C-alpha cells in the first residue's frame, strides 16, 4: 500500500474520525476498498476528510443489514481506518473513491457532532500488529489458499487467472479475497477481527469452503 503519508504507530492516526457504516463490507490493513459515493452526507464526509487527515473509518452496522432512512443503527465494536488515496468526480454528482486500509480500531464513544455524518472516538492500541504486519504464511498453507482463491474467483465470475493469484504476495492475496469473498456480514467481521495473518488465513480457508458450498447449492437446479 503506497500512500503519501506513513503510519508507523497508533499515535500517527487521529483518535476522532468520521464513520462510514457499510453492511457486508470490511476494510483490512493493507487492503483497498473502492467506494461509489452518492448520498449527500457521505459526499460531505469526503469533502471534509480531504480538507483534513483524509482518514475515514469503515464499520459494519451491528444488525448486519442496511439502516432505514432516518435510523441510526448500532455499530459493531471493531472497524478499520483508511486513507483516501483516490478521489474522482463522476460528472453526475457522485465521487468514486478508494480507501487504503491502515489499522483496525475499537469504537470508544460516538461523538455529538453538527455534521450530517457520524463521528467517533476510536482506539487503535489493541491492534499494534497492523502497523508492522506479518507478510507471509507457510508455503503449504499458501498452496491451499491458491486453490480455494481460484475457486472463489470462478464462483464470483471474476476474470482472474490462477497464475495471477499465485503471483500475489501472501498478505495482499489474503486481504483481497477476505474483502471480496461471498461472505455474510458476521463472517466478514470475523475476518476483520482475526488476530494476525495466520489466523485470518485459516479462517479464510474455512469460510471459503462454506461459501463455495452455498454457491454450488444455489446454482444446482431443483429435481
Domains recognised in the chain with CATH numbers: 10-130 (2.30.130.40), 139-219 (no CATH)
- Predicted confidence (pLDDT) per residue in 78-95, tens digit: 999 999 999 999 999 999
- Predicted confidence (pLDDT) per residue in 87-135, tens digit: 999 999 999 999 999 999 999 999 999 999 999 999 999 999 999 888 8
* Residue pair 98/85 in contact by the 8 Å Cβ criterion: yes
d(CA 98, CA 94): 13
DSSP string, 51-112: HTT-EEEEE-BTTSSPPPTT----B-SEEEEEEEEEEEE-SSS-EEEEEEEEEEEEEEEEPP
> Mean pLDDT score of the chain, rounded to an integer?
91
d(CA 4, CA 116): 28
Number of neighbours of residue 65 by Cβ within 10 angstroms: 12
DSSP state of 13: S
Place of cell 472497524: 79
d(CA 41, CA 115): 8
d(CA 102, CA 28): 8
Which residue would you say has higher pLDDT here, 216 or 168? Answer: 168
pTM comes to: 0.90
Amino acid at each position: 500500500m503506497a500512500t503519501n503519508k506513513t503510519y508507523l504507530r497508533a499515535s500517527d492516526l487521529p483518535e476522532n474520525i468520521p464513520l462510514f457504516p457499510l453492511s457486508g463490507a470490511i476494510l483490512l490493513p493493507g487492503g483497498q476498498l473502492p467506494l461509489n459515493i452518492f448520498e449527500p452526507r457521505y459526499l460531505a464526509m469526503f469533502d471534509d476528510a480531504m480538507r483534513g487527515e483524509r482518514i475515514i473509518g469503515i464499520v459494519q452496522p451491528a444488525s448486519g443489514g442496511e439502516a432505514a432512512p432516518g435510523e441510526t443503527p448500532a455499530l459493531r465494536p471493531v472497524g478499520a481506518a483508511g486513507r483516501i488515496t483516490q478521489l474522482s468526480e463522476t460528472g453526475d454528482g457522485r465521487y468514486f473513491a478508494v480507501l487504503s486500509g491502515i489499522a483496525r480500531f475499537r469504537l470508544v464513544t460516538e461523538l455529538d457532532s453538527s455534521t450530517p455524518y457520524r463521528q467517533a472516538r476510536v482506539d487503535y492500541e489493541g491492534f499494534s500488529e497492523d502497523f508492522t504486519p506479518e507478510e507471509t504464511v507457510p508455503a503449504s498453507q499458501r498452496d491451499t489458499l491458491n486453490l480455494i482463491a481460484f475457486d472463489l474467483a470462478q464462483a464470483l465470475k471474476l476474470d482472474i487467472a490462477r497464475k495471477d493469484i499465485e503471483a500475489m504476495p501472501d498478505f495482499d492475496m489474503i486481504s483481497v479475497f477476505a474483502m471480496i469473498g461471498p461472505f455474510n456480514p458476521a463472517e466478514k467481521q470475523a475476518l476483520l477481527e482475526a488476530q494476525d495473518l495466520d489466523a485470518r488465513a485459516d479462517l479464510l480457508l474455512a469460510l471459503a469452503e462454506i461459501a463455495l458450498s452455498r454457491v454450488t447449492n444455489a446454482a444446482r437446479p431443483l429435481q
